[in-house]
Amino acid sequence: MIEAHSDTSALGLYVHFPWCIKKCPYCDFNSHPLKAGTDQAVYLDALLGDWRQQYGSFGKARIAQTNTGQIESIFFGGGTPSLFKPQHLARLLEEVPHQGAEITLEVNPGTAEYHRFEDYQDAGINRLSIGAQSFSNAQLARLGRVHQRDETISAVAKARQAGFSNINLDIMWGLPGQSVAEALQDLRQAIQLQPQHISWYQLTIEPKTEFAGRPPILPVDRVLQEIEQAGLALLAEAGFQRYEVSAFARTGYQCQHNLVYWSFGDYMGIGAGAHGKITQGPKIYRTQRPSQPRLYQQDSQTTKLTEIPQTQRTIEFMMNALRLLDGVTQQSFAERTQLPWQSVSQVWQELVDLELVRHDRCATTALGLRYLDSVLERFLEA
Ligand SMILES: C[S@@+](CC[C@H](N)C(=O)[O-])C[C@H]1O[C@@H](n2cnc3c(N)ncnc32)[C@H](O)[C@@H]1O
Ligand code: SF4
């Protein structure tokens, strides 16, 4: 059994890098095409200012409450943070107390030639999350990716040679015109590369993306269901344990950083558009930085703080925790939301009677996971 992050005191740090070589038509993340002349040193300065401001105003006190006195996980996400120079990452890490932390870098295989993996390792990165997406060159072109399948295969090899032994591959399924056989072929190829973790996301069409404006023809529901069932079986057979709706890991390799999110833990967020979540006494806050890199670089130190009201905490907690196959303890609900379990126990019992959730843990049953949206709806009213 995979136990979700049970240390309520644990704290994560998310660092956002808001540029990509080019924008993918399906992507609604805060990412902008990288223009010639973008000065990475200016962005590093903004990040350092951001970190120091948050560290001074609440980070230091919050870190002191952790069991380890350290930030337990750091995630460099994007955008394409593998465009960021390794020495810049190293400079930032110098200021962050991070002994023993899992430190992940998202890598777009199309940038594997830009910087050496050895240098990222020297900077302190110990986990790579490589955006493979598909191993079909035709699909990669449709998805507007800047890389081809061979570049992903060679990025994994180079990462291994550099000494990385904790690698995730992001794969998407339900791609335009994709057959069951094609989706499974992508998974087989991913498994063959022997990563420690696979994130297997169903492609969604997000509002305001290029795909929303000119929707591609996606597989029909019957094909999607077949892909999902066969894909889950394939991953299980290959020894990847599903621990979250879209996350599969070999034993001991669950993504610690994502476990912080899914268990409604606290994390600081620095970088353009980065979000954080911080508990201070009885209050829980979200932090947010300006999304536009230009505005962020002008002023990276004004934090927008929004309190998560008590009425909102239950649904936010459930939307995260119930994505974990094994959920969390009921005690963890009380610790993280600062609400008594009794505030949801009646709704919970009704869901237990419908066999949608477990009686002993804050977790769904297999049936409940299939109807997760309906389960969550019940907490909108709770
Ligand atoms: C923030 S992206 C960053 C990774 C990196 N920039 C890259 O694309 O290689 C993280 C992952 O989210 C997934 N993703 C992004 N948009 C998606 C969408 N519309 N539907 C499903 N998965 C998506 C992709 O698998 C992607 O690798
Ligand atoms: S490379 Fe990643 S973050 Fe950038 S646009 Fe594509 S999916 Fe989004």
- 172 CA from centroid of ligand 1 (Å): 8
Say if residue 176 is in the same domain as residue 116.
yes
Domain boundary at 227, 260, 293, which?
260
Examine the domain organization and report whether 231 and 353 are in the same domain: no
Residues 247 and 320 in one domain: no
Residues 51 and 136 in one domain: yes
Model pTM greater than 0.75? yes
Q: Domain check: are 16 and 101 in the same one?
A: yes
Pair 14, 275: CB distance under 8 Å? yes
Per-residue pLDDT band for 1 (boundaries 50, 70, 90) equals: very low
Q: Which amino acid is at 183?
A: A
Name the residue range of residue 170's domain.
11-260
On whether both 177 and 315 belong to a single domain, the answer is no
> Considering only CA atoms, which residue is closest to atom 25 of ligand 1?
170
pLDDT of residue 36: 85
Query: Is 341 found in the same domain as 224?
Result: no
Domain CATH code at residue 376: 1.10.10
Does a structural domain hold residue 248?
yes
Residues 201 and 87 in one domain: yes
Q: If you take atom 2 of ligand 2, which residue's CA is the nearest one?
A: 79
Residue 82 falls inside a structural domain: yes
- Decide: 203 in ligand 1 pocket, CB within 6 A: yes
The per-residue pLDDT for range 327-351, each reduced to its tens digit, is 999 999 999 999 999 999 999 999 9
CATH code of the domain in which 101 resides: 3.20.20.70
Residues 329, 256, single domain; the answer is no
- What local confidence, expressed as pLDDT, does residue 86 receive? 97
Q: Report the separation in Å between the CA atom of 258 and the middle of ligand 1, taken as the mean of its atom positions.
A: 15
Which ligand number lies closest to the CA of residue 168? 1
Closest ligand 2 atom number to CA of residue 131 = 2
Domain boundary among 243, 260, 277: 260
Domain's final residue, options 241, 260, 279? 260
Average pLDDT over residues 157-180: 98
Averaged pLDDT, 19-46: 95
Q: Which residues of 262-288 are buried (b: 16+ CB within 10 A; e: fewer)?
A: bbbbbbbbbbbbbbbbbbeeeebbebe
Report CA(149)–ligand 1 centroid distance (Å).
Answer: 16
Ligand 1 centroid to Cα of residue 12, in Å, is 21
Same domain, 36 and 108: yes
Query: Which atom of ligand 1 is found nearest the CA of 170?
Result: 25
The model's pLDDT over 98-152, given as tens digits with 9 standing for 90+, comes to: 999 999 999 999 998 889 999 999 999 999 999 999 999 999 999 999 999 999 9
133: Cβ below 6 Å to ligand 1? yes
Q: Residue 180 above 90 pLDDT?
A: yes
82 and 15 co-located in one domain: yes
For residue 159, how many other CB atoms are within 10 A of its CB?
23
Number of domains, the chain: 2
Whether 305 maps to a domain, the answer reads: no
Protein residue with least CA distance to atom 8, ligand 2 = 27
Is 60 part of a structural domain of the chain?
yes
| pLDDT for the residue 2 | 44
Mean pLDDT of the chain: 95
**Is residue 17 included in any domain, yes or no?**
yes
What's the rounded Cα separation, in Å, for the pair 38 and 177? Answer: 37
Q: Residue 214 burial by CB count (10 A; 0-12/13-18/19+): exposed, middle or buried?
A: exposed
Task: Tell me, yes or no, whether 71 lies in a domain.
Answer: yes
Q: Is residue 363 part of a domain?
A: yes
CA atoms within 13 A on the CB side of 220: 1
Q: Which residues contact 325 (CB under 8 A, 6 or more apart)?
A: 2, 242, 243, 244, 363, 369
Q: Average pLDDT in the 258-274 region?
A: 97
> Ligand 1: distance of its center to the CA of 229 in Å?
22
* Predicted local confidence at residue 178, as pLDDT: 98
Assess whether pLDDT exceeds 50 at residue 267. Answer: yes
pLDDT digits (tens, 9 = 90+) for 350-380: 999 999 999 999 999 999 999 999 999 999 9
Answer yes or no: is 6 within a domain.
no
Looking at the structure, do residues 228 and 332 belong to the same domain, yes or no?
Answer: no
Label residue 303 by pLDDT band (50, 70, 90).
Answer: confident
Give the number of the atom of ligand 2 that is nearest the alpha carbon of residue 26.
Answer: 7
